[in-house]
Structure 1
């Protein structure tokens, strides 16, 4: 069975010979060839060369051509902060302003064209990849989902807008839906087989707000992709468990989840709606900071614990960290392709325990002033982490020396040990004086300030 055929059959709910494998190697593809993230995302030849190396080394059934949720936002006036080892982050929000004023879409906010921004680079590489490996590998085009694009344009105010400005928020999301349909169309024209609508911030809202604001724009986007003859995926990050049901009701062909979501729960909901589930290899604890045996054992154990493997695609929980060891991703590929032999290799392997003995926990009861601790995956590459860290930084700026603030990124091993010792369950999270205040939910500026004021009493 050809890799592409295996993925297509999985998406159609048909029997396959083994689980399909899709490595989300975005900027990591550049790492394979020694290119920095900002190089591989701005140079067509370097991007194409890197993607071909992903195809050669990791033997994917499907692979994304680019993983950059700033592509559309850049065309619409957002300034970017470029990085060497992660995708760029949003530096400015064109529709930002006073949270007490509604968002207003200016007349110059038009729909990007295939000639806008970096689209010529991306579409060129998509066509080249289609010609080179499109007969054997299913190719993914990733677009920014309506809610995350709206947040790029509006900033953190989008979260309070949903309470205060119903009509204006709906108008903004409908506009972002039109952008999503247009960019999906360009990628389908360039030969993409699957369009992944990547909207990490969906995990940050309630299911009621999803139904009120998101059902219509997402359903329209997935309907359009289906009408164009491509498959679709609803890609979400963080603990989106409460929204899996309503996500499925927008009728994507598949959805992708990360390690914050229980895979079995997602599979049960997905099968009820006929939606395939992809995921959810941990990005940092396993892929980035584990060794090859850790990665192989994780995959074998995951597959062996699944009584029913139908409707499942093995994938990292999100975009692979830039410096993920190559041997680790090769180990994942080997484990899914040659599961029986790898099972024998790892049957007696016991991974190294995370040492928490060196972690010093503050004496929270005797602090001189409130301590705000922000736990993130990486605010440079995780959109939800970006916005949670930003609202925390704004609070720190407002309170100044009245509070202390520290951020822990679990891309660093010592912070993984801290997460384990403090029993942090979900990312991103904010703790105040050692108590969990916001878990996988981005607070409004006023709510976070209220929590900090309460800690001062």
Structure 2
């Protein structure tokens, strides 16, 4: 089977010769050619060269063409902050001070924003490898796009103004459908709806405010004869059932979710599942043997039907190429790799971390544990809520972010007993885990400690 046949067969719930492997290279592809994240997200030739290098090195069954959740937001008026080793982040929110909806004239077209760049690289990839591997077109999901437009006020709207949220979601859903059309016309085989913020709300809010939007998008993709994937980041365990009910062909999860338990749920709906190789502890900071052993263990403990092996989300820029090559080898030559790593023990790093003396704090201490608020949308909005609190309370509170991309902070998470990201501790006590608090709830919690 070709990689493309293997992926499409999996999404059609058919038997395959082996489990498909999809490295979500994102801006990491640029690192393989020495290009910055900004370069590969604005220059189609540089991104094309980078993707072809990933294709050559990682032997994938599919590749995402562009992994950037800010493309639609930029078209709709959000200003972006660019970085060398991460996708851009949204710097402002056009609807933060108004409940008006964006003008229909801003709907994406072939000429909007960076769409010409995206379609150009899609055309190049389709011509070069489109018969061999499946190509994924990634769009920003309607709920995360609504957050880009409205900012953290959206979470208060969900409580106080559901009618407005419904109207905003109708608008962002229409944007999603426009993007689907553009990417399917460009020859994409799978449309991945990437919506990390879904993990930060309750299943009840999802069902009431988001279900119809996502179901509309997946039904539309299916009617167009293509396949779909529902990407979510963070601890989406409580959301899996309601996500399945929207009808995607597959769901992709990260390391915050137990893969075995998640697969039991998706299997009950006959939906394929992908993930959840840890991005930082394993792919970024682990050894090649650790990566190989993790994947072999996945293959040995999970049923292979409806299964895709992939990173939990887009790979960090600086992931060593050898680690992804090792993952590919573990999938392509599982028996040999199993024997190779059966006695391997990962080296233990002794990183000393000093925790604050929480009993003797001068003022309330808010600690946000994130994957990285500059690259993870769920973390961005969790940290955004904390920054609002800092602006309000000023020097009366202390605020610190611990990014999981740094080894010392990984050790800190272990010592603190952090289970899921993003989460927030106040005075050493876990207050919010994978759910963004409303402004009212956040302020009330802090005021109770002043």
Range of TM-score over shorter length: over 0.9
Q: Kindly indicate whether the alpha-carbon contact (under 8 Å) linking 1:256 and 1:278 is maintained by their aligned counterparts in 2.
A: yes
Q: Kindly indicate whether the alpha-carbon contact (under 8 Å) linking 1:374 and 1:406 is maintained by their aligned counterparts in 2.
A: yes
TM alignment of 1:22-421, pairs within 5 A: 22-97=22-97, 103-107=99-103, 110-306=106-302, 308-356=303-351, 358-421=352-415
Structure 1 residues 164, 116: CA separation in 2 closer, same or farther (over 3 Å shift)? Answer: same
Secondary structure at 2:368 match in 1? strand
| Cα distance, 1:109 vs structure 2 | 5.5
Secondary structure at 1:139 match in 2? strand
Q: Deviations over 1:253-274 (max 9, x none)?
A: 0000001111112111111111
| Cα distance, 1:377 vs structure 2 | 0.3
Q: State the alpha-carbon separation in 2 of the partners of residues 223 and 320 from structure 1.
A: 29
Q: Kindly indicate whether the alpha-carbon contact (under 8 Å) linking 1:85 and 1:322 is maintained by their aligned counterparts in 2.
A: yes
Q: Deviations over 1:109-140 (max 9, x none)?
A: 63111110000000111011001000010000
Q: Deviations over 1:168-211 (max 9, x none)?
A: 11010011000001101100000000000000000011111111
| Cα distance, 1:330 vs structure 2 | 0.7
The match for 1:455 is 449
2:434 counterpart of 1:440: yes
TM alignment of 1:16-27, pairs within 5 A: 16-27=16-27
Q: Kindly indicate whether the alpha-carbon contact (under 8 Å) linking 2:75 and 2:106 is maintained by their aligned counterparts in 1.
A: no
Q: State the alpha-carbon separation in 1 of the partners of residues 69 and 349 from structure 2.
A: 33
Q: Deviations over 1:116-165 (max 9, x none)?
A: 00000001110110010000100000000000000000000111111111
Q: Deviations over 1:273-328 (max 9, x none)?
A: 1110000000000000111111111111121122x221110000001001111111
Q: State the alpha-carbon separation in 2 of the partners of residues 92 and 407 from structure 1.
A: 20
Q: Deviations over 1:396-435 (max 9, x none)?
A: 1211111111111010011101111111001001101110
| TM-score, length-scaled by structure 1 | 0.97
| Cα distance, 1:213 vs structure 2 | 1.1
Q: State the alpha-carbon separation in 1 of the partners of residues 292 and 260 from structure 2.
A: 20
Q: State the alpha-carbon separation in 1 of the partners of residues 442 and 83 from structure 2.
A: 29
Q: State the alpha-carbon separation in 2 of the partners of residues 276 and 54 from structure 1.
A: 24
Q: State the alpha-carbon separation in 2 of the partners of residues 27 and 135 from structure 1.
A: 24
Q: Kindly indicate whether the alpha-carbon contact (under 8 Å) linking 1:76 and 1:109 is maintained by their aligned counterparts in 2.
A: no
| Cα distance, 1:455 vs structure 2 | 2.2
Q: Kindly indicate whether the alpha-carbon contact (under 8 Å) linking 1:95 and 1:105 is maintained by their aligned counterparts in 2.
A: yes
The total of aligned residue pairs comes to 450
| Cα distance, 1:108 vs structure 2 | 5.5
Secondary structure at 1:406 match in 2? strand
The match for 2:416 is 422
Q: State the alpha-carbon separation in 2 of the partners of residues 405 and 50 from structure 1.
A: 38
Q: State the alpha-carbon separation in 2 of the partners of residues 207 and 367 from structure 1.
A: 36
Q: State the alpha-carbon separation in 2 of the partners of residues 33 and 57 from structure 1.
A: 12
Gaps of 5+ in 1: none
| Cα distance, 1:449 vs structure 2 | 1.5
Q: Kindly indicate whether the alpha-carbon contact (under 8 Å) linking 1:11 and 1:311 is maintained by their aligned counterparts in 2.
A: yes
Q: State the alpha-carbon separation in 1 of the partners of residues 49 and 63 from structure 2.
A: 14
Secondary structure at 2:432 match in 1? strand
Q: State the alpha-carbon separation in 2 of the partners of residues 430 and 136 from structure 1.
A: 44
Q: Kindly indicate whether the alpha-carbon contact (under 8 Å) linking 2:156 and 2:439 is maintained by their aligned counterparts in 1.
A: no
| TM-score, length-scaled by structure 2 | 0.98
Q: State the alpha-carbon separation in 2 of the partners of residues 138 and 216 from structure 1.
A: 28
